[in-house]
Amino acid sequence: MKRFFISLLSLFFLLSCGGGKGAASNKATPPNTPKTPIISNVNSGYWQQHVDYKMEIDMDVNTYQYQGKQQLVYTNNSPDVLNKVFYHLYFNAFQPGSEMDVRSRTIADPDRRVEDRISKLKPNEIGYINVNSLKQNGTILKHETVGTVLEVELAKPIQPGEKVTFDMVFDAQVPVQIRRSGRNNKEGVALSMTQWYPKLAEYDFEGWHADPYIGREFHGVWGNFDVKLTIDKNYVVGGTGYLQGEPSVKGNKKTMHFKAPKVHDFTWAADPEYIHDTLQMENGPLLNFYYKKTLPEENLKFWKEFQPKAAALIKYYSEHVGKYPYKQYSVIQGGDGGMEYAMCTLITGERSFGSLVGVTAHEMAHTWFQFLLASNEAKHEWMDEGFTSYISDLAMNEVMETNKENPTAGAYRNYLYLAKSGKEQPLTTHADRYAYNQAYSISAYSKGEVFLAQLGYIIGEENLKKTIKKYFTDFSFKHPKPLDIVRTAERVSGLELDWYLIDFGQTTNTIDYGITSIEDKTITLERIGLMPMPIDLTVTYTDGTTQNYYIPLQMMRGEKPTTATLIKDWAWAYPTYTFNAEKSVKSVQIDPSGLMADINPENNTK
């Protein structure tokens, strides 16, 4: 999430600027068809919890404090009896001595937006959420605030299939803008209200996910929101949900009523100087743009000009992932960089045209990879950030007409830097537990992007396109896991891919293949790294002609569709592989596409 990463990518760019048994040698074969049928019922036995929020919020724009009433109807769809529940109180992170504060001051490479700023906040600048009362079906509950988590002792266990109603009264203060949420950001936006309410923690097949907020990622329960916001009548408000009728005005305040169906969060931003533009897409949502009229003239011009690009991005993602299901989407000036939320994104506004489009492309893509395919981004941050980076790079290549041969090349460069740095941790690392912010960012964004791009190398680009669409069809409005994207790819391609998730997603094993020798027609290759891969190979003959070869990985139990000459499988445990080409060989190149994340490309040609 996001946003010092753009400069990080720039730095790295400057630094760097399966086969069937007994396949007949040299036998050309047509593209294969899937070897296993597409299975439609992939969610058998799946369950997820459900929430219905009703909130009434009264905001004082002078003190940045607000009063809240929340009624939450919670449906326990799990097979388990629940004896306790937990709420996230994210604003409590913005207090001196919080875990977020201490972690920022002790990690080797702190986020420059945070550093020691939380430790210096005064009482009227901190954030907090105080829960004053909480009832379960009318019975008062005992509860304790522990940092950013509210621990609740239930009056009566919640049985499987049971609905309970929690009624809460709370008050809160909006912190000075430091990270994502806050008041009066560096561009003067009054209120960036993200992760601002007591939010019930997710409970799934792995149990509760009541993670403290240390500055990283989020996980939420699917449900419906009904929010009545009372605020100064001069403030323009944009965010999640559909406005229900005209605001009612009483004195100096107005009350706005929003409803948001089938989301797992609710966000809003407000400022008295917002310009509000709209663009109705044909066969698509209404796009809203909120930005301050006080922006420099050049930036105001960019905010007007990029609106058709935003529409083109929505269209691209709807065509290449799945149809956008809501009636509206909003791009809102606010926050501290760029960050995705339900039906909207908050981004800073003083940007070049290219940056405005690029950041919007990334944050908007999160609507698909996180807000519709709602993976647990605290545990699987690479599925969120990486898949988003992949599809947004492809979208930018088309929408901005940059025509790059490999739009994901930057992600490969970043990953190779990390893999050779000695600082890499497996993608199974919890988002909060990376030793370095840099290692987290490259792992989540770049290695996650390479995971998808390289999957296309393994199963074929057309199969990858089908995989992404089927993944969306099967798992949107759910909480998919890493295995789900891999099993989807298996169903589409007919190949065995568990090895790929294990090696690339659960270890720091690296790919390194090289060319040992060329002797007339005989070519010998070697596997140096621990991670297995199928091999694409281009051979240039002494007469100047070329021929493409494909060496299947035996443990894939099949081959990707290819027009290359198919030769015998390579079983992983064998460190070398020898075959005879058809004519005398001049040179050989492994992976001419550059889509295999080989950490030593220098030994890929000879």
Catalytic residue numbers, as ranges = 363, 445
Residue 56 annotated as part of some ligand binding site? no
Q: Which residues contact 221 (CB under 8 A, 6 or more apart)?
A: 48, 49, 50, 51, 200, 201, 202, 203, 264
Q: How far apart are CA 587 and CA 553, in angstroms?
A: 23
Answer whether 408's CB lies under 8 Å from 334's CB.
no
Task: Classify residue 477 as left (phi > 0), alpha (psi -120 to 50) or beta.
Answer: left
Burial grade of 463 (CB within 10 A; 0-12, 13-18, 19 or more): buried
Two tokens, residue 250: 């009483």
Positive or negative torsion for Cα 32, 35, 41, 46: negative
Alpha-carbon distances, residue 573 vs 525, 527, 531, 560 (angstroms)? 13, 9, 10, 21
Positive or negative torsion for Cα 389, 394, 396, 402: positive
* Count of CB atoms situated within 10 Å of the CB of 44: 6
Instruction: Decide the pairing of beta strands 286-292 and 274-280.
Output: antiparallel
Q: How far apart are CA 190 and CA 460, in angstroms?
A: 48
Residue 385 annotated as part of some ligand binding site? yes
Sheet holding 513-519, edge to edge: 513-519, 522-527, 576-580
Instruction: Decide the pairing of beta strands 236-239 and 268-271.
Output: antiparallel
Provide the residue type at 226 as one letter: D
Answer whether 392's CB lies under 8 Å from 361's CB.
yes
Q: Which residues contact 441 (CB under 8 A, 6 or more apart)?
A: 4, 5, 8
- Binding-site residues for Zn(2+), in ranges, read 362, 366, 385
- Binding-site residues, in ranges, read 362, 366, 385
